[in-house]
Amino acid sequence: MNRGTYKDPVNALRSMARAAATLALVAALGSGAGCGDPKPPPAVRTLVLVTVDTLRRDHVSAYVPAGGTVHVATPAIDALARTGVRFDDARTPTPLTLPAHTTMLSARAPGAHGVRSNSASRIPPRAARRWPLLAETLADAGWCCGAFTSAGPLVTRYGLDAGFDTYDDGALDDFSGGGFAERPGLQTVERALAWLAALPRERRVFLWVHVFEPHQPYRPDYRTDVTQADAVVGTLVAGLAAARGPDAAVLLTSDHGEALGELGEPSHGLLLAESVLRVPFLLVAPGLAPGVRSDPVDLADVAPTLARLAGTTFPTPEGPLAGRDLLAGPAPADRPRVAEGLHAFHQYRWAQLTCAVVGRHKLEDRGDAPGRRVLFRLSDTPPGQDAGVAAESAPEAEAPAAALRAYRRAESGAPDRGAAGAGGYGAGGAVGPLEDPAANGRRLDPYAVVTDAGRLDRAAAAVLAQPVTAERVRAALRDLDTLEARDPTNPAIAFWRGRALRTLAKTPADHAAARATFLAALDRGRADADTLLLAGRSALAEGDAPGTLALLSAWHDRIPPDARLADLEADAAGRVGDTPRREAATARAAALRKAPAAQAPPGGCR
């Protein structure tokens, strides 16, 4: 995918620097310790949240200590760090895009809001939950709210659009069982700036801009993509100054980092290494003195902090794991922060991962089995932690263990969590609550088999590559057979075997074999619309339209409505001459594709 051509950011940075120079730097929020009660900054009229997807903290040059290795020059982001507050100890609660952004906008951990996958969860409508999203709170207070996102994991159907007058997702909801859509960050920023320019300056505006460049697939490599993302940030901040004046508040962070091969993980989502959990976190606002804070910060702090700048409050749950208003003062040094890694379970049925950080210690829980609870001491140099020791013999494990117990309690007390979704990047069926620790301990440890994920990814890429060559797909099948021999319950292996068999299929018997493999993926837990769709299409290609209809009926209550499934049902019903069912399915497909009428929140942009 062409990510677009990027403008030279020099002029953007000059404009940004001129704008930043006019900030009134009067509040004392120094290093995060012994600051007393800081004077709150004045409420602002322009709030901007910038999220740069998959941005490692150590690949932002402002975070590199003197004498350290600068992997990438990031002048635009560095300028924000110089003119605002740089938070040096910020962490994500999960290395996945949609769940992490939901935490930012809800001030709740994934276990509490229930959005734990990039595709298999949806945020309930406002009437069905007791907790708000930031845009809803600001819209209720009369703010005009606009969001401009750059990739499929954040499309409207997952529910983060609630409260926004404008939610521009680039019509990127076109997942096809093997990839996800994105658009260049520059295009996203240009649309955001055009929206800003059309608004009266006296309107109070909240803008969220999401940039996807550092995410895989790289164009051509991670460092280059970080450079491009930085240029996009420079263009945004310069355009912001032109459209709204110099007094905007800007919070820049990332949903998670990127492993880049550390511990055998090629990207992110499978493990809970420091490379994916530590994120940049920068805040520039009128009246906020530049400085560095070292107190513990979580992405759940985004909504309460931005609400404070808006002159309102954001309701947060009780307990030590809830989001905090960072402008109310430094967080306690022993503040617990919890992260979960359910992607390996969701995709492959490997063990679920959780970890808790308290002070300089991190406890990771991979299930109730010998050697599966490990205590690490954190450091400021890569890889960010030592080799670890068995938690059972370490007294320092008690505080983080208590945090993990609190996390489970918060999860069980959240009946209005996210609902099941359907399809998309990382599809694999609904993600439920954390399972019993003993059962989890019997699953494969992701750290022991993470390299198999890379091998599976390569096989999947070979199946999807164009133009199709039978030799390449057969080689991928051999690799998949080898993987399945040692991991026979893995639903993703069955899914990609089905894709390979379907690609090679020429006879009804071939399509029957593909259907059987997709059904195995469904039975192993990959209960999503994409797998059911491919199973049904294979049955049709086999010549078994009644079987397709029976399959759709059998899974009707377990997979949420999907327009593509309704199309398939209409096709199969037509082939067997069931006109009423064909017409009903056709109407249902049309209704599912029709975007719901926008509900203008109170106040808003009018």
In a domain, 368, yes or no: no
Cα(295)–Cα(78) distance, integer angstroms = 20
The secondary structure of 58-123, three-state, reads HHCHHHCCCCCCCCCCCHHHHHHHHHCEEECCEECCCCCHHHHHHHHHHCCCHHHHCCCCCCCEEC
**Overall average pLDDT of the 262-277 stretch:** 94
Task: Single out the residue in 301, 316, 331 at which a domain terminates.
Answer: 316
Q: Give 30's contacts (C-beta < 8 A, 6+ positions apart).
A: 289, 291, 292, 293
Asked if residue 73 and residue 218 are part of one domain, the reply reads yes
Q: Which residues pair with 364 in a beta bridge?
A: 355, 374
Cα(249)–Cα(43) distance, integer angstroms = 9
State the pLDDT at residue 311: 93
State the pLDDT at residue 410: 82
In a domain, 498, yes or no: yes
In a domain, 474, yes or no: yes
Task: Single out the residue in 265, 293, 316 at which a domain terminates.
Answer: 316
Residue found under tokens 């400085």: 291
Token pair listed for 484: 């399945």
- C-alpha triplet 451, 115, 429: angle, nearest 5°: 60
State the pLDDT at residue 247: 85
Cis? peptide before 580, omega within 30° of 0:
no
State the pLDDT at residue 431: 63
The predicted-structure confidence for 357-384, as pLDDT tens digits, reads as follows 999 999 999 999 998 999 999 998 888 9
Asked if residue 451 and residue 302 are part of one domain, the reply reads no
State the pLDDT at residue 21: 34
Q: Are 233 and 225 in contact (CB under 8 A)?
A: no
The predicted-structure confidence for 174-223, as pLDDT tens digits, reads as follows 554 456 789 999 999 999 999 999 999 889 999 999 999 999 889 899 99
In a domain, 322, yes or no: no
Q: Are 160 and 131 in contact (CB under 8 A)?
A: no
* Closest listed residue to residue 50, CA positions, set 162, 193, 155: 193
The predicted-structure confidence for 490-544, as pLDDT tens digits, reads as follows 999 999 999 999 999 999 999 999 999 999 999 998 888 889 999 999 999 999 9
Cα(405)–Cα(535) distance, integer angstroms = 40
Q: What percent of the chain has pLDDT over 70?
A: 86
Q: Are 298 and 337 in contact (CB under 8 A)?
A: yes
In a domain, 109, yes or no: yes
Within 10 angstroms of residue 188's Cβ, the number of other Cβ atoms is 25
State the pLDDT at residue 9: 38
Q: What is the DSSP letter of 288?
A: B
- Burial of 311 per CB tally in 10 Å (0-12, 13-18, 19+): middle
Stretch (H or E) spanning 389? strand 389-390
State the pLDDT at residue 354: 97
The predicted-structure confidence for 12-63, as pLDDT tens digits, reads as follows 333 433 333 333 222 333 334 333 345 556 679 999 999 999 999 999 999 9
* Closest listed residue to residue 352, CA positions, set 430, 458, 445, 284: 445
Stretch (H or E) spanning 166? strand 166-168
**CATH of residue 562:** 1.25.40.10
The predicted-structure confidence for 558-592, as pLDDT tens digits, reads as follows 888 888 999 999 999 999 999 999 999 999 999 98
Token pair listed for 425: 């990047």
In a domain, 283, yes or no: yes
State the pLDDT at residue 64: 93
Q: Using pLDDT thresholds of 50, 70 and 90, give the confidence band for residue 418.
A: low
State the pLDDT at residue 117: 86
Q: Using pLDDT thresholds of 50, 70 and 90, give the confidence band for residue 430.
A: low
139: containing domain: 10-39+46-316
The secondary structure of 443-503, three-state, reads CCCHHHHHHHHHHHHHHHHHHHCCCCCHHHHHHHHHHHHHHHHHCCCCHHHHHHHHHHHHH
Q: Give 431's contacts (C-beta < 8 A, 6+ positions apart).
A: 116, 117, 120, 121, 342, 345, 346
Q: What percent of the chain has pLDDT over 90?
A: 71
In a domain, 420, yes or no: no
Q: How many domains does the chain have?
A: 2
* Closest listed residue to residue 369, CA positions, set 433, 432, 447: 447
State the pLDDT at residue 417: 54
Task: Single out the residue in 254, 284, 316 at which a domain terminates.
Answer: 316
| Residue 339: strand, helix, or coil | strand
Cα(57)–Cα(62) distance, integer angstroms = 9
Q: Which residues pair with 42 in a beta bridge?
A: none
The predicted-structure confidence for 444-492, as pLDDT tens digits, reads as follows 999 999 999 999 999 999 999 999 999 999 999 999 999 999 999 999 9
Stretch (H or E) spanning 353? strand 353-358
State the pLDDT at residue 588: 95
Token pair listed for 233: 């940030």
Q: Using pLDDT thresholds of 50, 70 and 90, give the confidence band for residue 433.
A: confident
| Residue 580: strand, helix, or coil | helix
**CATH of residue 73:** 3.40.720.10
Cα(231)–Cα(126) distance, integer angstroms = 36
Q: Which residues pair with 377 in a beta bridge?
A: 361
The predicted-structure confidence for 306-355, as pLDDT tens digits, reads as follows 999 999 999 988 877 899 999 999 999 999 999 999 999 988 999 999 99
Cα 72 → chain centroid: 23
In a domain, 91, yes or no: yes
Q: Long-range contacts for 546-553 (Cβ within 8 Å, ≥24 apart)?
A: 546/572, 546/576, 547/515, 548/572, 549/573, 549/576, 549/578, 549/581, 551/519
| Residue 163: strand, helix, or coil | coil
